Structure 1
Amino acid sequence: MTPPAAASALPSTSTLTASLVTVTEVIQEQEQVQVQCVVRTRIPSEFGNATHSLLLYTNSEDDKEHLALVFGYAAAGPDSIWSRTLEAARDNETPRDRAIRGAAPLSASAIPATSATSSPLESTPPASDSNNDSAPLVRIHSCCFTGETLGSLRCDCREQLVDAMTRISAERKGVVLYLIQEGRGIGLRDKLRAYNLIDLGYDTREANIQLGLPADARSYRIATAILRDLNIPAVRLLTNNPLKVNSIVHDGLVVSERISMIPKSWSTGILPGREADGAKAIGSKLLDRDGYLVSKVLKMGHILDIPSEILAGTSAAAAPTPK
Structure 2
Amino acid sequence: MPDAKSTPAGSPQGKENVDRKVHGESVGLPSFYSPRSRPIHEHDGALATRLDRLDRLDRDELSLSSLALTPTSTSASTDDANPPLPPPSLLSPAFTPPATPGTATPSPAAEHQPHGVPVDSSIPSGGCGTKRPRLLETLPEVQCIVRARIPTVSGTEMFLHLYTNNVDSKEHLAIVFGPHIRSQSLDAPREGETEMDRMVRGAYTGRLYPGRTRSGMVGGSSSVDNDPEEVVTPSGPPLVRIHSECYTGETAWSARCDCGEQLDEAARLMSLPSAVNGGIVIYLRQEGRGIGLGEKLKAYNLQDLGSDTVEANLLLRHPADARSYGLATAMLLDLGQEEIRLLTNNPDKIRAVEGPNREVRVTERVAMVPLSWKGKGGFRSREVEGYLKTKIEKMGHMLDMGGLQ
Same fold (TM over 0.5): yes
Figure out how many residues of one structure are paired with residues of the other and give that number.
240
SS of 2:289's equivalent in the other structure is: coil
- Structure 1 residues 270, 101: CA separation in 2 closer, same or farther (over 3 Å shift)? closer
- Structure 1 residues 103, 267: CA separation in 2 closer, same or farther (over 3 Å shift)? same
- Structure 1 residues 39, 107: CA separation in 2 closer, same or farther (over 3 Å shift)? closer
CA contact (8 A) 1:84 1:230 kept: yes
Which among 243, 256, 263 is matched to residue 141 of structure 1?
Answer: 243
- Structure 1 residues 29, 153: CA separation in 2 closer, same or farther (over 3 Å shift)? closer
- Structure 1 residues 95, 150: CA separation in 2 closer, same or farther (over 3 Å shift)? same
Deviation at 1:268, TM superposition (A): 3.5
CA contact (8 A) 1:133 1:256 kept: no
| Residue 317 of structure 2: aligned partner | 212
Structure 2 residue 239 is matched with structure 1 residue 239: no
Structure 2 residue 111 is matched with structure 1 residue 36: no
Structure 2 residue 181 is matched with structure 1 residue 181: no
| Residue 331 of structure 2: aligned partner | 226
Structure 2 residue 393 is matched with structure 1 residue 298: yes
SS of 2:287's equivalent in the other structure is: coil
Q: TM-score, normalised by structure 2?
A: 0.56
Q: Equivalents in 1 of 2:217, 2:321: separation in Å?
A: 39
Structure 2 residue 384 is matched with structure 1 residue 289: yes
Deviation at 1:250, TM superposition (A): 3.9
Which among 149, 166, 174 is matched to residue 60 of structure 1?
Answer: 166
| Residue 318 of structure 1: aligned partner | none
- 1:253-280 Cα offsets, whole Å, 9 max, x none, are 1111100111122334999xx88xxx5x
Point out the more displaced range, 205-214 or 246-255. Answer: 246-255
| Residue 121 of structure 1: aligned partner | none
| Residue 370 of structure 2: aligned partner | 263
Structure 1: state its 5+ residue gaps. Answer: 1-27, 74-79, 111-130, 280-286, 307-323
List structure 1 segments (4+ residues) > 3 angstroms apart after TM superposition: 105-110, 267-271
Point out the more displaced range, 64-73 or 169-178. Answer: 169-178
Report which of the two structures shows the higher radius of gyration computed on alpha carbons: 2
Q: Equivalents in 2 of 1:159, 1:238: separation in Å?
A: 13
Structure 2 residue 172 is matched with structure 1 residue 72: no
Which among 80, 83, 86 is matched to residue 186 of structure 2?
Answer: 86
CA contact (8 A) 1:132 1:234 kept: no
Point out the more displaced range, 261-270 or 167-176. Answer: 261-270
Deviation at 1:45, TM superposition (A): 1.3
CA contact (8 A) 1:132 1:256 kept: no
- Greater share of helix residues, 1 or 2? 1
- 1:137-195 Cα offsets, whole Å, 9 max, x none, are 00110111111111110000011001000001111511111110111011000000000
Structure 2: state its 5+ residue gaps. Answer: 1-134, 206-213, 219-232
Q: Equivalents in 2 of 1:188, 1:145: separation in Å?
A: 8
- Structure 1 residues 98, 227: CA separation in 2 closer, same or farther (over 3 Å shift)? same
Q: Equivalents in 1 of 2:376, 2:198: separation in Å?
A: 51
Q: TM-score, normalised by structure 1?
A: 0.69
Which amino acid in the other structure matches residue 161 of structure 2?
Answer: L
- 1:102-129 Cα offsets, whole Å, 9 max, x none, are 111687339xxxxxxxxxxxxxxxxxxx
Which amino acid in the other structure matches residue 183 of structure 2?
Answer: S
Which among 213, 232, 255 is matched to residue 153 of structure 1?
Answer: 255
- Structure 1 residues 217, 132: CA separation in 2 closer, same or farther (over 3 Å shift)? farther
| Residue 198 of structure 2: aligned partner | 98
SS of 2:342's equivalent in the other structure is: strand
| Residue 28 of structure 2: aligned partner | none
| Residue 313 of structure 1: aligned partner | none
Deviation at 1:202, TM superposition (A): 0.8
Deviation at 1:133, TM superposition (A): 6.6
Which amino acid in the other structure matches residue 364 of structure 2?
Answer: E
